[in-house]
Amino acid sequence: MRPSALRSALLYPTCRPTLWSIQSVPRIARCQSTSTATLSPRWLSDVKTRIGKCIMFGISPAQTQEAGSILQEMAVDWRELVAGSEGFLTGMQYRGLYRQEVVWGEMDSMGHVNNVMYNRYAESARCTWTLNFAASDAVHKAEWMELMTPKHIGLILRSIKTDYKFPMKWPDRVTVLHKLRNKPTTDTDHFILDVLILSEVHRRAAARCIEDIVVYDYQKAQKCRLKPFMVDKFRETFELQEQAKEKCRIRVKTLLDRVRQLEKGSWDRADAEEDMGGAGKQ
């Protein structure tokens, strides 16, 4: 990838871009820990900013290829890097909502998506998350499907807490993911789900929710414990979450280390001089 092509990739990504400045990069962004627990919510766009600064100071053909490789990985796998590093499963068989369009009517008089809509996104995604187990557990498919009815055992939302990260607007798309906060046991009669609502335009969380789910027996009109087949499947899912978190955190750390090496080989070296193009030759 040529430097001119890299500039286009930075300024005109495949999705609707957010605006950033590549004039300077705060020292805290350059020197922060590579642990995903300490990353800024905007770390993806920060990486683009850092690569942009490297390009401005001039990079070699090999460095150009490396920068292009980093940008390509971020463009293709950003959901895995952002959500997977927190333990959310991003595969097709685990998604609640995937690239669902935000419609104009979901905005309110203030010009952004109404707060109520985020809870609706979470609710719809939770229903799909539950039905996904029916698709992957053929033996108990009918029982998983029955959870969505008031016939016998069901899952009831006891409470939901929503943190809004920024005012999302139309046009946009949302991807909504759920994860189990704890590994269930045979005595579990309620559990917590963490919800991540991703903006596809901004490529970061637009909102986060915490859902408290109660296992309810409609016939006895009282709480009950998870059925054994549910415990087994939830335990399996929790283990997959932990594996995904570890794998994706390693990927993020490796990616950030690669960016740091680019910086050391361009503007952050002793003889670094910014490439001013034609203006610098006058």
What pLDDT, in 10s, does the model give residues 189-212?
A: 999 999 999 999 999 999 999 999
At residue 128, the pLDDT reads 97
At residue 12, the pLDDT reads 47
Out of 43-47, 81-85, 257-261, least confident range = 43-47
Asked if the model's pLDDT at residue 11 lies above 80, the reply is: no
Asked if the model's pLDDT at residue 254 lies above 60, the reply is: yes
Q: Which of 230, 220, 232 is nearest to 150 (CA)?
A: 220
pLDDT, mean of residues 265-273 = 86
Query: What residue spans define the domains of the chain?
Result: 3-84+246-270, 88-238
Asked if the model's pLDDT at residue 104 lies above 70, the reply is: yes
Percent of the chain at pLDDT > 70 equals 83
pLDDT, mean of residues 93-110 = 96
Q: Is-above-0.75 flag for pTM?
A: yes
Give the model confidence (pLDDT) of 50-59 as tens digits.
999 999 888 9
Asked if the model's pLDDT at residue 244 lies above 90, the reply is: yes
Rounded to a whole number of angstroms, the distance between the first and last alpha carbons of the chain is 28
Report the half-sphere exposure of 27 (CA within 13 A, side-chain side).
0
At residue 39, the pLDDT reads 78
At residue 15, the pLDDT reads 43
At residue 19, the pLDDT reads 32
Q: 152: helix, coil or strand?
A: coil
H or E stretch including 217? strand 204-217
> What is the token pair recorded at 215?
């296992």
H or E stretch including 268? none
At residue 42, the pLDDT reads 84
Asked if the model's pLDDT at residue 231 lies above 80, the reply is: yes
Give the model confidence (pLDDT) of 23-71 as tens digits.
344 433 333 333 455 678 889 989 999 999 999 888 999 999 999 999 9
Domain 88-238: which CATH class? alpha beta
Task: State the sign of the Cα–Cα–Cα–Cα dihedral 79, 93, 14, 109.
Answer: negative
In angstroms, rounded to a whole number, what is the distance separating the alpha carbons of residues 4 and 192? 48
At residue 273, the pLDDT reads 75
